[in-house]
């Protein structure tokens, strides 16, 4: 769903590189289309794609992250597509004509399928066994196997593999000694019942702290409830899955937390959790996705709590107040999210699935259930599969942080080596949705973090966060308004300021529709009928 009042997905090729007779070539579709391609230099005025985080993240971190995103999205993805790295380049299309790279859907890779054409979309429910808790229906799966992804979606999973091992490696080599020293200090402070001599810590002694038994009691109750839900509901996840989940969070909270503390960017466990549990419970869709949800959200909630407590320390807010607010907010969010999701599923009509209403998070989760749950990582990424090369990303991710570390150690010591942060470079937004964020996010970050902070620092310190929050809030309200208008089929007039006589999205290609080439293209190729059935006559 396009949630902003203004939205422009204008790519460089539609304005600056017109081709012969205005035909939309594969290059134009791949490079400039923000919907089906990679959106080179595409931009947007939709604040929902930007958010206030880019006026708060360190500018160096934003540059590193956007550089990695641009390099992977604008160069690596098109090159892999052009080389047809995983096959079906000409079969996976948006409309039978234009190539499709930017999608999180699944596609048939079996040329002998009796139910789907080669390269045609496969809905995960096709190979689910509804009578067996939506586990894998092997007969149906074999009819469309091997399942293919779009190039961009496949690369997105590759970058997730890179990020996981790069995060561990980066934190270990750069901060390993500090972590060890601080861990010893922390145990020493607990033993001696002494806090660090920090001015904010001393000021916070005026407030009662949250008692340790509150955290332990909450952990105990929620763990018991999680086990009950896992074992005695259709989630059907083994009881040990909850403890394995907590174990993963305990391991990764430190490296992920350090990277977020230093750079501001959060990293997630969604792919790692579904990868590991998918190997342990192959073919069990609901169990795998339940484990993924618990692992991902446990880490997010833990880092949110740590971040809130740190913020509360600097703002001198009582710890019990911060903890209570997060507990209450989590419960409210769980209820509201479920209610809204069910309401949209049963009241949105035919809006879901259109280019304007993409419900990307749910769609990605739905298809991930097919990939990691029903099919499983062994079939999808294991040795002998079409995506087996993606496993090398784990090794590359682990090795790559050594490059700046060795450069700092043996070439020249400089703070700039620290800015070569590979976990940030690999952490891209990924496939799905409109690819319009890179340029706009950089511009917003530069204006806020460099220009305003450098030339109007007092204004920045006083108003920047407030303005960013106001924009975020107004964007959320706009989403709500557009949702209501769309669900109840209400509309309001808009003015096409570019070319009122032409479809607002496709004025870049005069005389040619987006869903088909013009007659000149077909006549030049010896055909007298377009793919949509229009008869072409030689002039």
Give the model's confidence band at 166: pLDDT under 50 very low, under 70 low, under 90 confident, else very high.
Answer: very high
* Predicted local distance difference test score (pLDDT) of residue 154: 96
Question: Which H/E stretch holds residue 107?
Answer: strand 106-107
Mean pLDDT of 46-69: 91
Residue that has been written with the tokens 């690819």 in this structure: 435
8 A C-beta contact, residue 360 and residue 432: yes
CB within 8 Å of 242: residues ≥ 6 apart: 223, 226, 227, 230, 294
3-state secondary structure of 367: helix
Higher pLDDT, 515 or 109: 109
Beta strands in 113-203 (DSSP E): 121-122, 128-129, 135-136
8 A C-beta contact, residue 417 and residue 407: yes
Cα→Cα distances 151→80, 82, 189, 324, Å:
7, 10, 51, 44
8 A C-beta contact, residue 57 and residue 257: no
Burial of 432 (0-12, 13-18, 19+ CB in 10 A): buried
Helix ranges restricted to H, 316-376: 319-347, 360-368
Q: With 70 as the cut, is the pLDDT of residue 389 above it?
A: yes
Give the model's confidence band at 165: pLDDT under 50 very low, under 70 low, under 90 confident, else very high.
Answer: very high
Torsions phi, psi for 3 (to 5 deg):
-100, -5
* Nearest in space to 445 (alpha carbons), one of 55, 9, 27: 55
Q: With 70 as the cut, is the pLDDT of residue 513 above it?
A: no
| Least confident stretch, 16-25, 71-80, 459-468, 508-517 | 16-25
297-314, pLDDT tens digit by residue?
999 999 988 888 888 888
Q: Output the six-digit token pair for 498.
A: 């570019």
Residue that has been written with the tokens 């204004």 in this structure: 459
* Predicted local distance difference test score (pLDDT) of residue 197: 65
Residue that has been written with the tokens 């399942």 in this structure: 147
* Nearest in space to 271 (alpha carbons), one of 258, 256, 259, 254: 256
Q: Output the six-digit token pair for 455.
A: 């030339």
CA dihedral angle for residue 103, residue 109, residue 112, residue 116, rounded to 10 degrees: -20
Q: With 60 as the cut, is the pLDDT of residue 13 above it?
A: no
Give the model's confidence band at 10: pLDDT under 50 very low, under 70 low, under 90 confident, else very high.
Answer: very low
* Whole-angstrom distance, CA of residue 215 vs CA of residue 160: 31
Cα→Cα distances 181→195, 196, 258, 415, Å:
15, 13, 15, 22
* Predicted local distance difference test score (pLDDT) of residue 14: 41
Q: What is the DSSP letter of 372?
A: I
Q: Output the six-digit token pair for 532.
A: 């949509």
Mean pLDDT of 247-269: 90
Q: What is the DSSP letter of 208?
A: P
* Nearest in space to 102 (alpha carbons), one of 144, 73, 75: 73
Q: Residues for the chain: how many in total?
A: 539
Give the model's confidence band at 343: pLDDT under 50 very low, under 70 low, under 90 confident, else very high.
Answer: confident
* Whole-angstrom distance, CA of residue 324 vs CA of residue 335: 17
Q: With 70 as the cut, is the pLDDT of residue 17 above it?
A: no
Q: Where are the domains of the chain?
A: 151-432
Decide the pairing of beta strands 106-107 and 121-122. antiparallel
Higher pLDDT, 217 or 184: 217
* Whole-angstrom distance, CA of residue 113 vs CA of residue 144: 6
Cα→Cα distances 51→68, 315, 440, 445, 524, Å:
19, 23, 11, 10, 47
Q: Output the six-digit token pair for 385.
A: 């599969």
CB within 8 Å of 42: residues ≥ 6 apart: 9, 10, 11, 12, 32, 34, 434, 435, 436, 438, 439
Residue that has been written with the tokens 């557009």 in this structure: 482
Give the model's confidence band at 438: pLDDT under 50 very low, under 70 low, under 90 confident, else very high.
Answer: very high
* Predicted local distance difference test score (pLDDT) of residue 379: 94
Question: With b meaning 16 or more CB within 10 Å and e meaning fewer, what string describes 341-351?
Answer: eeebeeebeeb
8 A C-beta contact, residue 129 and residue 137: yes
* Predicted local distance difference test score (pLDDT) of residue 402: 96
Give the model's confidence band at 361: pLDDT under 50 very low, under 70 low, under 90 confident, else very high.
Answer: confident
Burial of 407 (0-12, 13-18, 19+ CB in 10 A): middle
């Amino acid at each position: 769903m396009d949630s902003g009042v203004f939205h422009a997905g204008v790519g460089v090729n539609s304005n600056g590189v017109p081709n012969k007779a205005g035909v939309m070539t594969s290059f134009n579709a791949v490079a400039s289309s923000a919907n089906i391609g990679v959106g080179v230099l595409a931009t947007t005025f939709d604040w929902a794609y930007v958010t206030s985080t880019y006026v708060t993240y360190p500018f160096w971190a934003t540059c590193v992250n956007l550089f990695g995103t641009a390099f992977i999205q604008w160069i690596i993805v098109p090159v892999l597509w052009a080389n047809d790295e995983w096959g079906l380049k000409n079969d996976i299309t948006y409309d039978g004509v234009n190539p499709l790279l930017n999608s999180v859907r699944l596609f048939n890779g079996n040329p002998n399928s009796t139910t789907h054409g080669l390269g045609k979309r496969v809905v995960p429910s096709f190979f689910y066994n509804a009578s067996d808790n939506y586990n894998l229906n092997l007969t149906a799966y074999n009819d469309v196997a091997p399942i293919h992804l779009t190039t961009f979606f496949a690369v997105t999973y590759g970058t997730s593999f890179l990020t996981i091992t790069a995060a561990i490696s980066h934190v270990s080599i750069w901060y390993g000694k500090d972590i060890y020293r601080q861990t010893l200090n922390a145990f020493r402070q607990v033993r001696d019942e002494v806090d660090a001599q920090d001015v904010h810590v001393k000021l916070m002694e005026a407030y009662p702290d949250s008692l340790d038994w509150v955290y332990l009691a909450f952990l105990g109750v929620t763990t018991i409830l999680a086990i009950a839900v896992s074992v005695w509901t259709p989630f059907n996840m083994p009881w040990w899955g909850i403890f394995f989940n907590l174990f993963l969070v305990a391991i990764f909270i430190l490296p992920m937390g350090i990277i977020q503390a230093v750079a501001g960017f959060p990293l997630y466990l969604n792919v790692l959790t579904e990868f590991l549990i998918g190997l342990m419970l192959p073919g069990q869709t609901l169990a795998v996705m339940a484990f993924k949800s618990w692992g991902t959200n446990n880490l997010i909630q833990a880092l949110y709590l740590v971040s809130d407590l740190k913020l509360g320390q600097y703002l001198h807010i009582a710890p019990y107040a911060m903890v209570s607010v997060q507990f209450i907010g989590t419960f409210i969010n769980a209820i509201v999210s479920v209610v809204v999701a069910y309401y949209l599923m049963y009241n949105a009509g035919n809006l879901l699935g259109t280019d304007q209403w993409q419900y990307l998070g749910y769609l990605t989760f739905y298809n991930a259930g097919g990939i990691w749950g029903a099919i499983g990582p062994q079939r999808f990424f294991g040795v002998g599969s079409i995506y087996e090369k993606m496993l090398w990303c784990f090794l590359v991710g682990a090795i790559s942080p050594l490059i700046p570390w060795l450069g700092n150690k043996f070439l020249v010591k400089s703070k700039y080596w620290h800015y070569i942060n590979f976990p940030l470079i690999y952490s891209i937004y990924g496939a799905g949705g409109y690819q319009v964020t890179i340029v706009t996010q950089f511009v917003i970050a530069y204006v806020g973090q460099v220009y305003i902070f450098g030339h109007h620092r007092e204004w920045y310190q006083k108003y920047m966060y407030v303005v960013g929050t106001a924009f975020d809030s107004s964007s959320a309200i706009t989403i709500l308004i557009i949702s209501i208008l769309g669900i109840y089929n209400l509309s309001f007039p808009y003015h096409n300021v570019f070319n009122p006589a032409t479809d607002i999205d496709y004025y870049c290609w005069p005389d040619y529709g987006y869903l088909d080439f013009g007659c000149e293209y077909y006549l030049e190729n010896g055909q007298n009928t377009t793919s949509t059935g229009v008869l072409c006559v030689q002039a």
